[in-house]
Amino acid sequence: MAVARPRIFLFALNAQVSLVTGELLMVTGTLGRVQSPRIIRIGGAAKETAEVLEQLGLLRPLIITDAKVSNLHLSTLTDVLDGAGMVWGLFDQVVEDPTDVCVDAGLAALQSGDYDCVVDFGGGNPMETAKAVSFMSVNSEHVRDYKEPAQIDRCGVPIILIPTTGGTGSVLTRWCVITDTESPENYYLSGLACVATAAIIDWNFSLTKPARITANTAVDSLTHAIEAYVSRRAFPYTDAFAFALSAAQAGMAFPNASVALVHGMSRPIGAHFHVAHGLSNAMLLPTVTSFSVAAAPARYSACADYGHGRRWGYRCHRLRQIGRRITQPEHRSGGAVTESVGA
């Protein structure tokens, strides 16, 4: 079975180097550890999927997605695979807030054929499922037995992630989140086994998303950026990515600098009430930010500079306005749903 491990980089936060020889003389402080996919392609990259698979020596992918994405976009991917003569399989039964039962079904689909990798095609839910299916293919316990603080470093089949939404950042993280059907718990699963082998980021898919999804994922991206930047575990590498111009780049920041209280409270809301992740972030971000500013005023001030130098009191006020707008119920007219959030 093919196993493709991600890349690991270690960064010294304080290092002294000889100006004469370039020799590393001394390292103080902790090391920053960064994990990333071996291949990252950005742009109109979906058409390069077969090329990426061939580069990795992979020929028989299992596509993991949900029914909605399958109906809307699947042919965009399968036409590329068919053109390269690749034999692919499909598991399109991913559910919202994917559960241990969903993971078991995906694992059964993987084991039913001679597949050599999993290819996520969808938003956060298929990405979480594809990661869990991969590492469960070589780890024999129940998926809940691997929840944090355990680190899952035994990698399964290679994971190729092709996101169709922006926001989650999961395409570049070492985490996935699965819901337990025996208790209303969302558990974090973390380790090398959750890092994609390749990330194929094609923004064309996000252009057709409903306004509600666009707004929710935008707030998720903003929350990732703020929490990564003000985290006690932040370091220069993650700072550079925290306020980059895409969800994927912010996704390089928060798994390596960590997230904080917004995400800590947001996940239980999703587990108990099945609220969209970005929406629950929008509900929490203003209040948590107001609570946290005093603990890291310099960092929050730097974040505020991205808002044209406004004071944080004003920034929190604007976050509350955005949160109220995003959390408005969708209007229904004649049985149809009309979005209340502008794209």
pLDDT band at 224 (very low <50, low <70, confident <90, very high): confident
336 burial via Cβ count (<10 Å: 0-12, 13-18, 19+): exposed
**The pair of three-digit structure tokens given for residue 79, joined into one six-digit string:** 């036409």
86 burial via Cβ count (<10 Å: 0-12, 13-18, 19+): middle
64-105: pLDDT as tens digits: 999 999 998 999 999 999 999 999 999 999 998 899 999 999
**The pair of three-digit structure tokens given for residue 306, joined into one six-digit string:** 């991205």
* 233, containing H or E segment: none
What is the average pLDDT across 131-157? 94
> For residue 289, is pLDDT > 70?
yes
SS3 content of the chain, % helix, strand, coil (to 5): 50, 20, 30
* Sign of CA pseudo-dihedral 51, 53, 56, 58: negative
Task: Residue 224: count other Cβ atoms within 10 Å of its Cβ.
Answer: 29
Q: Cα–Cα distances in Å, from 36 out to 82, 126, 198, 249?
A: 29, 19, 9, 11
Percent of the chain with pLDDT over 70: 71
> For residue 317, is pLDDT > 70?
no
The identity of residue 160, as a single letter, is: I
**The pair of three-digit structure tokens given for residue 246, joined into one six-digit string:** 């895409």
234-281: pLDDT as tens digits: 777 777 666 654 545 555 555 555 666 777 777 777 767 777 777 777
What is the average pLDDT across 36-50? 89
Q: Does a cis peptide bond (omega within 30 degrees of 0) precede residue 149?
A: yes
* Residue 288 vs residue 19, higher pLDDT: 288
Give the C-alpha separation, 234 to 258, whole Å. Answer: 8
- Helix, coil or strand: residue 235: coil
Residues 6+ apart with CB under 8 A from 55: 39
